[in-house]
Every structure is written in C-alpha cells, then in structure tokens.
Amino acid sequence: MSTVVKAAGTPTSAKAQAGEIVVSSVGKSYGEGQFVKEVVKDCSFTIERGKLTVMIGPSGCGKSTLIRLLAGFEKPTSGSIKINGKPVTGPGKDRLVLFQESALFPWMTTYDNIMYGPRARGEDTKEARSLAEMLLDKVGLRAFRKKYPTQLSGGMQRRAELARAMINNPEVMILDEPFRGLDAMSKELMWEYYSRLYEESGRTNFFITTDIDEAIFLADRLLIMTNVPTQVRAVVEIDIPRPRDLVSLVDDDRANEVKMEALSLLHEEAMKSFAGGSKAAADFIEAYSKRLRTKKE
C-alpha cells in the first residue's frame, strides 16, 4: 500500500458543506441457506470529506452493491454505514447517485431537467433559476438549454445529468461508472469537465470505475477492491497536483507508478475471478497482458 502526500485541496468554504461517509466492517449477502451468496465481506473504508475518492475493482466484484448500500437503497447484512456520524437507514437528500444509464426525462428540455429537483421540492425560486443558468454555463450547455435529451450527444447528456445532480447540493455525490458508454474522446472530455466541477465545488465525491486511466486522472484517493466477496485490497493516495492535464499524465512518473501498482493488484484479483469462470475477468486479463507487452516493447 502506498502512503504519499495527498493532492492539493479545494476551498475551505466549499469543504464545510461536504459530507463524510464511514463504512465499518460491512457485509452483504443475498439468498438463504445453501443458496446464500456473499457479495461484500468485512468491508471498511472512509469517503473523506471534500475529497474525490475513486473505487476500482474487477467487473462483478460488488461495487454496485456497495453503491446501493451507501445510497440507502439496501441495508447491509452486517456492519454499519454512517454519514457525518449518523447511521444510513435509507435514501436521503444528503446523498445523490448518478448511475451508468441516462436518467434524463425525454419529454423535458435540458433546462427543465436541471430544474426538476427544485421544482419537485416546490423551490422554483429566483435563486434556483439563477443556479440552473450558472450550471448550464459550467457544463457548456447554455446553447442547448431548450434541446431535448434525444437532441444531445451522449457526453452532453452526461453533463446535463451532472448539472441536475449539483443543483440539489448533496453533501456526497456517488457516481457509478457514469462515462462508461461514451466513446474515447467524449469520455476524456467528460473527465476534464467533471474534474473541473469537482475542483470548483469541493463537494465530497465517490466515483466507481473499471478504467484505470480514469481512476488516476480523477482520484485524490484510490480504493482497489478484491474479487467477490469484495473488500478493500489497497488504498493509494494520489499526490498528482490539480488541475490535471491528460497529455502530461502520460509521461508522469507517479501516474505510471500508480497505474502499474493498481494493474498488478487488479490482475491478481481478476485471476481469482477467472478461475471461477468470469468472462469479464478473462477480458481484463487479455487487456492487461497486451498492456504489459506494449510497455516492454
């Protein structure tokens, strides 16, 4: 496990509104008797206040189950989850989840989608409308404010969803591989958009991914997970200064050191999954082997 100086922080005033989640010895099982399946086992970690914590692990290891537990959609079989010292007993406005699938309402414009939360709470105020306009600017969608989701590219839809999440001002934003379905160029642009939004807000963010380059570009702190039943295999503190640049990261010694360390651990966990017949693990091992061959060449 690496221990290094942490990345530069964000404004104190923004951090004061951020939340902290502590996961203690959490377990989650499904089924009963001989059909019980343990997905999460004795899992402990902290999503630090005002930090961007990224979790990476083999496909199917239990990351999405952890998201449902953090969001309060499901309850752990054992252990506890607390936000700001209080037990998570169900969904709450202090946490907001952005899933892989687009959740924009197709019958609403970009602006109306962003304003959905405030309007649903009866808070369609001048302040909320001003914030919506500011967020449209932040995510580069002012010119598309009257467009419907089907008229937006995948990257634009993701930006609109980020804005719709941020207007609700959650203490913790939880993102489950939100850029997974985008093409390579759109994905990298979204990394930059999202990273900039995080740096400006200082809000606590918990980001799930299976993309090591995405993880290193975004993270202040990287949690590397084991094969199912999942738990934290290693914690890596990322000390790469912000704002980060994709081009310079290619030749950054620390970024490459973290990448190889993470890939080595993920390879070991994927091998365990592969032994159990997981196609996702087989795909990972093939990609990892190609990466190693390329590095040697």
The pLDDT averaged over each successive group of 10 residues in the chain (297 residues) is: 32 56 97 90 96 91 94 96 96 90 91 95 92 91 95 92 91 92 87 89 93 94 94 93 88 89 85 65 63 58
- What's residue 16's pLDDT? 39
- What's residue 11's pLDDT? 33
- What's residue 284's pLDDT? 63
Helix or strand run (H / E) with residue 22: strand 21-30
The verdict on 45 and 119 lying in the same domain is no
User: 3-class DSSP state for residue 2?
Assistant: coil
The verdict on 190 and 48 lying in the same domain is yes
What's the total number of domains in the chain?
2
Measured distance CA(216)–CA(17) in Å, rounded: 25
The verdict on 19 and 159 lying in the same domain is no
The verdict on 21 and 158 lying in the same domain is no
Q: Is residue 237 part of a domain?
A: yes
Q: Is residue 278 part of a domain?
A: no
- What's residue 10's pLDDT? 33
User: 3-class DSSP state for residue 64?
Assistant: helix
- Domain limits at 224? 12-94+170-243
Which of 169, 193, 210 corresponds to the end of one domain? 169
What CATH number has the domain bearing residue 36? Answer: 3.40.50.300
- What's residue 33's pLDDT? 83
The verdict on 110 and 75 lying in the same domain is no
Q: 254: which 2 tokens?
A: 């620390």
The verdict on 150 and 198 lying in the same domain is no
- What's residue 66's pLDDT? 96
The verdict on 164 and 19 lying in the same domain is no
The verdict on 124 and 144 lying in the same domain is yes
For residue 93, what are the contacts with CB-CB under 8 A and spacing of at least 6?
A: 168, 170
Q: Is residue 1 part of a domain?
A: no
Identify any residues that bridge with 173 across adjacent strands, giving them in sequence order: 96, 205
Q: Is residue 260 part of a domain?
A: no
Q: Is residue 142 part of a domain?
A: yes
- For the chain, what is the radius of gyration of the CA atoms? 19
Which of 169, 192, 214 corresponds to the end of one domain? 169
Q: Is residue 281 part of a domain?
A: no
The verdict on 181 and 157 lying in the same domain is no
Q: Is residue 56 part of a domain?
A: yes
Q: Model-level pTM?
A: 0.84
Measured distance CA(204)–CA(52) in Å, rounded: 6
Say whether the peptide bond before residue 243 is cis (omega within 30 degrees of 0): yes
The verdict on 90 and 182 lying in the same domain is yes
Contact 262, 224 (CB under 8 A): yes
Q: Is residue 7 part of a domain?
A: no
The verdict on 85 and 218 lying in the same domain is yes
The verdict on 181 and 42 lying in the same domain is yes
Measured distance CA(211)–CA(184) in Å, rounded: 11
Which of 169, 187, 220 corresponds to the end of one domain? 169
